[in-house]
Amino acid sequence: MFLETAADEQTTGQSASRPLWRNRPFLFLFSGMTLSVFGNCFHSIALNLWVLQATGSAKLMSAVTLTHMLSSLLFGTFAGTIADRFDRRKLILMADTLRCLFVLGIAGAMAFLPSPMFVILILTALSAVVGLVHGPSFQASLTDLVGRDRIQQAAGVMNIADNAARISGLALGGIIVAAFGGITAIVTDAIMFACSVLCVVAAGKFPKRKQAATTPKSSFKDDYTEGFMLLWRNPFAKAVLFLTTITLMFFTSTLMLIQVMAVRIWEASPVHFGLIEAAIPLGYAIGASIILTISRKQRHRGKLILGSLILMGPFYSLIAVMSGAQLAIPFIFLVGILFSFCTLLVSVIMRIEVPSELQGRMFGMLGSLSSAAPPVGLAISAALADHFSPDLVLFSCGLLVFIAGIAAAIMFKPIRRYH
Residue 143 is predicted with a pLDDT of 78
Residue scoring higher pLDDT (189 or 15): 189
Cβ proximity of 92 and 205 under 8 Å: no
Are residue 210 and residue 254 in the same domain, yes or no?
no
- What is the rounded average pLDDT for all residues in the chain? 80
Are residue 212 and residue 89 in the same domain, yes or no?
yes
Confidence category of residue 16, pLDDT binned at 50, 70, 90: low
Mean pLDDT of 263-273: 82
Choose the final residue of a domain: 218, 252, 270: 218
- Write phi, then psi, for 303 (nearest 5 degrees): -65, -35
- Three-state SS letters, 100-169: HHHHHHHHHHHHHCCCCHHHHHHHHHHHHHHHHHHHHHHHHHHHHHHCHHHHHHHHHHHHHHHHHHHHHH
Choose the final residue of a domain: 173, 194, 218: 218
Mean pLDDT of 64-87: 80
The candidate with the shortest Cα–Cα distance to 144, out of 360, 392, 344, 329, is 360
Q: Cβ of 178: how many Cβ atoms within 10 Å?
A: 12
Are residue 235 and residue 167 in the same domain, yes or no?
no
The half-sphere exposure of 194 on its side-chain side, counting CA atoms within 13 A, is: 11
Let me know if residue 174 belongs to a domain. Answer: yes
pLDDT tens per residue, range 101-132: 999 999 999 889 888 888 988 998 898 888 88
Are residue 185 and residue 95 in the same domain, yes or no?
yes
Mean pLDDT of 328-352: 86
- The total domain count for the chain is 2
Residue 368 has pLDDT above 60, yes or no: yes
CA distance 79 to 83: 6
Residue scoring higher pLDDT (95 or 74): 95
Let me know if residue 299 belongs to a domain. Answer: yes
Residue 7 is predicted with a pLDDT of 40
Let me know if residue 164 belongs to a domain. Answer: yes
Confidence category of residue 381, pLDDT binned at 50, 70, 90: confident
CA distance 246 to 244: 6
Confidence category of residue 141, pLDDT binned at 50, 70, 90: confident
CA distance 295 to 151: 9
Mean pLDDT of 223-228: 76
Q: Cβ of 379: how many Cβ atoms within 10 Å?
A: 11
Residue 295 is predicted with a pLDDT of 59
Residue 178 has pLDDT above 80, yes or no: no
Q: Reduce the DSSP state of residue 399 to 3 states and report it.
A: helix
Choose the final residue of a domain: 191, 218, 245: 218
Let me know if residue 270 belongs to a domain. Answer: yes
> Could you give the percent of the chain with pLDDT greater than 70?
89
Q: CA quadruple 330, 336, 339, 345: dihedral positive or negative?
A: negative
> Could you give the percent of the chain with pLDDT greater than 90?
17
State the alpha helices, DSSP H only, in 234-355: 235-264, 270-293, 301-320, 325-353
Residue 330 is predicted with a pLDDT of 92
Lowest mean per-residue pLDDT among 1-5, 71-75, 324-328, 342-346: 1-5
CA distances from 91 to 104, 278, 359, 366, 390 (A): 20, 35, 15, 18, 44
Are residue 362 and residue 273 in the same domain, yes or no?
yes
Residue scoring higher pLDDT (184 or 370): 184
Confidence category of residue 195, pLDDT binned at 50, 70, 90: very high
Let me know if residue 281 belongs to a domain. Answer: yes
Residue 69 is predicted with a pLDDT of 74
Containing domain of residue 348, as a range? 227-416
Residue 13 has pLDDT above 60, yes or no: no
Let me know if residue 1 belongs to a domain. Answer: no
CA distance 240 to 206: 26
Residue 373 has pLDDT above 90, yes or no: no
pLDDT tens per residue, range 310-328: 999 999 999 999 988 889 9
